[in-house]
Amino acid sequence: MSPRLPEPGRAATSSRLTTRAIAAGVVVAALIAMPVPLLPPHRLAQGVQSALGIEWKAAYLFAAIGLHLAFYGSLGVLATLALDRASSVRKRLLQAAILPCLVVGVAVLIRSIKLGHVPVAANLIVPVLACVAGVGLGLALRYRGAGTRLALASVLAGTALWGWSAAPSSGLARATQMHLQRLAAAVPMLPAGEARFGAVVRTAFAPMAGGALQSTAVEHNRAAILALGIVLGHERLARMVGVETPPLLLDEIAAVRAGTALREREDWARHYALSAALAVLQHPFASDAAGLMKEQLDALTQGSGFSFGDLAADRAGVRFAAAATHSDAAATGMQSRLRRGFVIADFFPAVADLPENLTVEAFRRDYGGVGSRRYRQLAAEIEARLDGCAALSPRL
């Protein structure tokens, strides 16, 4: 029979168990509450851009990587409190190797449940590196007697980071939800066919009645483009942005999508909207959204082969998003342009003459593959046509 622990020993053991349970619980709770994808706040990217004097896309990339490093690094530090102190160097090394994988594994499980599919492997690189660094730092300081203080500091820092970053992300979701609801309500007033595409875009970009959205022009346009991606592209994109889509709203979204065409092609309207939404989610860890959109775009052309017209619609959507969100001045300019009306030639050129329905064999025979000289010539022709569209320039 084991000897009974003295009361002080019992208290110390109970305290350690409580600390480990709390640490593990906080890590799991943070992963559950984390938005998918974890987008950097707009003002963080603006601060990086101003501090480094770099273009917006690079600033957004730096902000995104920094946010992921801070978030997962903090979780790695905190997770070390859930471990017993190892009695040997070998066990410490095992802790340093296994714990980051465990944290990332739980993150992947939770993210998969939220998204409905397993995220791509490329999304794991930065979280794993950040967790390894966080766990290493946490273990090193813990075995020097400073682990608890460091973990508490990481919790405070992580809480502050969460409060600063989650609010803008949830704000984008709320704004997108409002754009969706307005588009759904506009169904009875929307024309059919070619005119519907322009009417949907103008409705999405129009100011909210009574100033319902207190946001910058860029944030307003980002939400409008995401709403277009959900409405005209695919409703599953809503999950990537954190937007709730009850069954009634899904029916209304389907009603908007039905019959919406671009240059008399419904598939081009979807290519355009999905590609624009992907460009708004220009986030290095939004590959799941990219995978979803690629899956949907591939489905549109299933059985019909490769289409340079589809490629033109994709590129036009990307350039439209860039032109509408490049800066506050550009965003305001896009809103002003759309208030004056929608001229299709300003947003998408005539591309019906481009080769379509190319089988794999025909594509290889005529173009030799992606990146070949003939392919690049036709791609350059597409870009030249897009250059002629007045609304697709970021300097409006």
pLDDT tens sequence across 335-369:
999 999 999 999 999 999 998 887 778 878 887 77
Whether residue 174 has pLDDT greater than 90: no
Rounded distance, CA 354 to CA 347, Å?
17
Do 36 and 109 reside in the same domain of the chain?
A: yes
pLDDT of residue 63: 81
Cα-to-chain-centroid distance, residue 78: 26
Greater pLDDT, 117 or 56: 56
Whether residue 255 has pLDDT greater than 60: yes
| Residue 344, domain member (yes or no) | yes
**Residues 219/42, Cβ–Cβ less than 8 Å:** yes
Closest CA to 60 of 275, 391, 286, 241: 286
Do 103 and 243 reside in the same domain of the chain?
A: no
Number of domains in the chain: 2
The pLDDT confidence band at residue 230, using thresholds 50, 70 and 90, is: very high
Do 125 and 197 reside in the same domain of the chain?
A: no
Do 197 and 49 reside in the same domain of the chain?
A: no
pLDDT of residue 336: 95
Q: What is the percent of the chain where pLDDT is above 70?
A: 74
Whether residue 191 has pLDDT greater than 80: yes
| Residue 1, domain member (yes or no) | no
Do 244 and 377 reside in the same domain of the chain?
A: yes
Do 159 and 206 reside in the same domain of the chain?
A: no
| Residue 14, domain member (yes or no) | yes
Average pLDDT, the chain: 78
Closest CA to 257 of 225, 235, 280: 235
Do 274 and 161 reside in the same domain of the chain?
A: no
Do 101 and 73 reside in the same domain of the chain?
A: yes
For the whole model, what pTM was predicted?
0.67
| Residue 354, domain member (yes or no) | yes
Do 153 and 245 reside in the same domain of the chain?
A: no
Structural domain range at position 277 = 186-392
pLDDT of residue 130: 84
Do 116 and 202 reside in the same domain of the chain?
A: no
Whether residue 175 has pLDDT greater than 90: no
Question: 32-46, 139-153, 225-239 — which is least confidently predicted?
Answer: 139-153
